[in-house]
Amino acid sequence: MRAVRGSAGRSDLHLPPEVLQEPLALVRARAARRVRFLAVATFVALGVLAVRGAQLAIAPSNRTITEGTAQRYSQVKIRGVRGDVLDRNGVPLGTSIAMPNVVADPLAIADEEVDGIAARLAEHLGVPAAELAERLRSERRYVRLAMRVHPEVANRVRPMFNPRQVWVEHEQRRYYPEKTLGSQVLGYVDNDNVGMAGLERALDEELRGGERVVQRKRDQRGQDLSRPAALDLALHDGHSVHTTIDRHIQHVVEKALVDAAALSNPEAVSAVVVHVPTGDVLAMASWPPYNPNDLGGEVRARRNLVIQDAIEPGSTFKPVTMAIAMADGRATPEEKIDCEGGYWGIGRSRVRDDHPHGVVTMTEVIKYSSNICSAKLAFRVGGERFVERVREFGFGAPTGIQLPFERAGFVRSGRDIKPIELATTAFGQGVTATPLQLTMAIGAIANGGVLMSPRLVSRVEDAAGAPVRVNEPRAVRRVVPEDIADSVARMMVTVTEPGGTGTRARVPGYLVGGKTGTAQKVEDGKYTSARIGSFVGFIPADDPVLAISIVVDEPSTGSRYGGIVAGPAFAAIARESLQWLGVAPDPALLALEKAPAGANRAAPSVDDLDPVVEIEPVRLVAAEGGWRLPDLQGRSLREVLVGFQDAGISLEYSGSGVVVEQQPPPGTPIFAGDRLAVVLR
């Protein structure tokens, strides 16, 4: 029957009911076919699964075994304990301790238990209950509720809870018992116990313990069913590093740096103490310090300035120039040299002496710190040869000390050096060096002309105490003959004698050889008004044991001269270090310190004089970079000392009472390092 389409486009199909109804037999037949098909398909699928199951059970593939094991077990890395860093006497400076952490499995805690557990934990952990409750509602299986808690707290918390819910575990944490002591030398580690600075970084491979991988069995929820068995990890612990640092001397040095900082309010101060015969570094410090147990604060405090600051050494470089000239036969200890009245022209440039002295001996070149005479000595040697010899002293190359980030410093090319550059290099400008390089170079002069390699690590031992590596003292090379080195060393003693620029570095009972330095600071390739004051020397000068350098960066209070800002720190470090090492003072030198009243002698410090109720100290008037000498007639010795104590003037006196004579006379310009003699009656 056809459909009839109306004018509106609709179609209506008119079929009788008997035509639309299918026979029941046909429907049943079709349903039976479908059931048989599903039965066959199910049977085939079950057969395939059975065959595959049998295959997996009888002869599983490697992949199947691996995946099944991964689902059933978890791998845990266990690392040995990081080795200790010790001082020369075996005192730990850096060690590892097991610190408790309180952790939980939130999925093992029912919702109705969370608030109660959080409230009880808050009483002991010092963490707000609301914060703990939030962590306990986490969807993770492992959360840390408190890290590095006190062991007593951990012992109280452990029995309070179901160990499946809340428990205590331990992790190794690096700990520095002396806090800030030697912090820039030791360095620090990150959260993964990896060394990031200092010895911790340089010897990370040896300090870091070995690793073992163990397996933990898990249930279907991923919960640990077993803990790894106790393992004997002794042979996998990190190696211990024995350093040459002396804990007591390190304390002395860091205290001296604090005092120096209080005296001159600088940007930074650094110091290093080296044992002259062996090159052992007994102490190395920078101020301000930092505490590696707590890495908050300024990042710049983590810099080891002794090896990372390459500065112009200034006048402390002049003994090296003198030693080179004499070793090359270009000068003799006995000859005299003309300092040209204070100015010496080199092309269109001029070299100037702050304190002109005319014709002087070689010893006085060092004592009075003449730039002109130092430049003349370098010209006698010649540019290429002079630079070559400077490099032999260790400048322009790292010392090789076992610390990261050591700078090499800068020395000009000998073939390309210009005359004015040669002149300035001779007195420590246009050349840069780290305090350690300078200390080792001056130490070579004190050591009879033999340059030693700085030794910071004496030996490395395994966990059983057996030596893995032993570092013996090592001589790098001979830089000058022994007689030349001894001559220069004797010249350097005059720097700390009356009239020298380093009288504040004197130590009663010992001869001190040294050199002061006051260099302009270079920033962005230009000299600035900022200064770096330094003193480098050795003691006892007649049989050197210690070489010490002090560098004061940008002193802003009082004087900026190296002898004043760095000399007292040298004296304090040298005195206490020699006492600690058992180096006795010379009785004859001690007797000279107590000269009779009528003798001509160096003035004592203000604190050595009997106190007076009121004094009117001498007032100094600044003039041309120094001071104009006032009339001292009728003034007491204490009044003179108080007025001159921060001027860097070497004061000598004879007699007692009040001043009746002075030399130089009133009105004379006087500068730091100059000598003033007064007679009292």
* Residue 664: band (very low, low, confident or very high) from pLDDT cuts 50, 70, 90: confident
395-416 pLDDT, tens digit each: 999 999 999 999 999 999 988 8
The amino acid at 46: L
Distance, in Å, from the CA atom of 94 to the CA atom of 188, rounded to the nearest integer, reads: 9
Bridge partners of 680, per DSSP, are 655, 659
Q: What is the tens place of the pLDDT at every residue in 308-359?
A: 999 999 999 999 999 999 999 999 999 999 888 778 889 888 898 877 778 8
C-alpha span between 2 and 570 (Å, rounded): 122
Q: For residue 637, name the pLDDT band (cuts at 50, 70, 90).
A: confident
CATH of the domain at 281: 3.40.710.10
Asked if residue 201 is part of any domain, the answer here is yes
Residue at 69 is within a domain: no
Provide, for the chain, the percentages of residues in helix, strand and coil under a 3-state DSSP scheme, each rounded to the nearest 5: 35, 25, 40
Residue 439 corresponds to which tokens in the numbers above?
Answer: 């200390």
pLDDT, residue 214, reads: 58
Res. 384 pLDDT band, cuts 50 70 90: very high
- Check which CATH number belongs to the domain holding 164 and give it: 3.90.1310.10
User: What total number of domains does the chain contain?
Assistant: 4
CB 324 within 8 A of CB 480: yes
Indicate whether 620 belongs to any domain. yes
651 domain residue, yes or no: yes
Predicted confidence band at 431 (pLDDT cuts at 50, 70, 90)?
A: very high
Q: What is the pLDDT of residue 191?
A: 81
Instruction: Express as a percent the part of the chain with pLDDT over 70.
Output: 85
| In the predicted structure, residue 517 carries a pLDDT above the cut 70 | yes
Residue 68 and residue 443: Cα distance in Å, rounded?
A: 67
Residue 238 included in any domain: yes
Tokens coding 73:
């077990």
Res. 14: pLDDT tops 70:
no
Q: Are 377 and 322 in contact (CB under 8 A)?
A: yes
261 or 680, higher pLDDT:
261
Residue 65 lies in a domain: no
Residues 210 and 226 in one domain: yes
Span between the terminal Cα atoms of the chain, in Å:
153
Q: How confident is the model at residue 65 (pLDDT cuts 50, 70, 90)?
A: low
pLDDT band (50, 70, 90) for residue 519: confident
Q: What is the pLDDT of residues 102-140, one digit of tens each?
A: 999 888 898 899 899 999 999 989 899 999 999 999 888
- Neighbour tally for 316: CB within 10 Å: 31
Range ranked top by mean pLDDT from 229-238, 484-493, 515-524, 587-596:
484-493
Mean pLDDT taken over the chain? 85
Whether residues 500 and 429 fall in one domain: yes
Q: What is the pLDDT of residue 67?
A: 64
Residues 108 and 80 in one domain: yes
Place of tokens 């109660």: 116
Which of 567, 589, 611 represents a domain boundary (last residue)?
Answer: 589
Output the six-digit token pair for 288: 């301000």
pLDDT > 50? residue 525: yes
pLDDT confidence of residue 573: 97
8: pLDDT strictly greater than 70: no
* Residue 649 scores a pLDDT above 80: no
235 in the same domain as 149: yes
On whether residue 467 sits in a domain, the answer given is no
pTM over 0.85: no
Are 314 and 274 within one domain?
yes
Residue 538 confidence (pLDDT): 98
Q: Is 470 exposed, middle or buried (0-12, 13-18, 19+ CB in 10 A)?
A: exposed
Confidence at residue 680, expressed as pLDDT on a 0 to 100 scale? 76
Residue 628: per-residue pLDDT:
82
pLDDT at 35: 87
Element (H, E) at 440: helix 435-446
Query: Which CATH number characterizes residue 603's domain?
Result: 3.30.10.20
Domain end position, chosen among 533, 555, 589: 589
Domain range for 24 is 1-59
Same domain, 541 and 452: yes
* Residues 526, 673 share a domain: no
Does 527 reside within a domain?
Answer: yes
Confidence bin at 481 (pLDDT 50/70/90): very high
Q: How far is CA 564 from CA 159, 500, 555, in A?
A: 63, 12, 10
- Residue 233 pLDDT > 50: no
Write down the pLDDT at residue 443: 97
Same-domain check for residues 168 and 308 = no
673, pLDDT greater than 70: no
Mean pLDDT of 521-535: 84
Return d(Cα 627, Cα 652) in angstroms, integer.
Answer: 18
- Looking at the DSSP assignment, which residues form a beta bridge with residue 11? 5
Domain shared by 503 and 373, yes or no:
yes
The pLDDT tens digits for 193-226 are 899 999 999 999 999 877 766 565 655 555 555 5
Contact call for residues 435 and 527 (beta carbons, < 8 A): no
pLDDT at residue 7 greater than cutoff 70: no
Burial 206-226 (b: 16+ CB within 10 A, else e): bbbbeeeeeeeebeeeeebee
Enter the DSSP assignment of 244.
S
Block residue for tokens 């205590």:
168
Strands of 280-408, DSSP E: 281-287, 336-338, 343-346, 349-352, 359-361
**Is the pLDDT at 290 greater than 90, yes or no?**
yes
Considering the domain architecture, whether residues 254 and 230 belong to the same structural domain is answered as no
Top mean-pLDDT range of 150-159, 271-280, 645-654, 666-675: 271-280
Tokens 């007064």, residue?
678
pLDDT over 80 (residue 95): yes
Residues 198, 314 within the same domain: no
CB proximity list for 475: less than 8 A, separation 6 or greater? 450, 451, 452, 453
Q: For position 230, what pLDDT does the model report? A: 41
Residues 632 and 581 in one domain: no
Query: Is residue 176 pLDDT above 50, yes or no?
Result: yes
pLDDT at residue number 605: 43
The C-alpha atoms of residue 447 and residue 394 are separated, in whole angstroms, by 15
Domain boundary among 555, 589, 623: 589
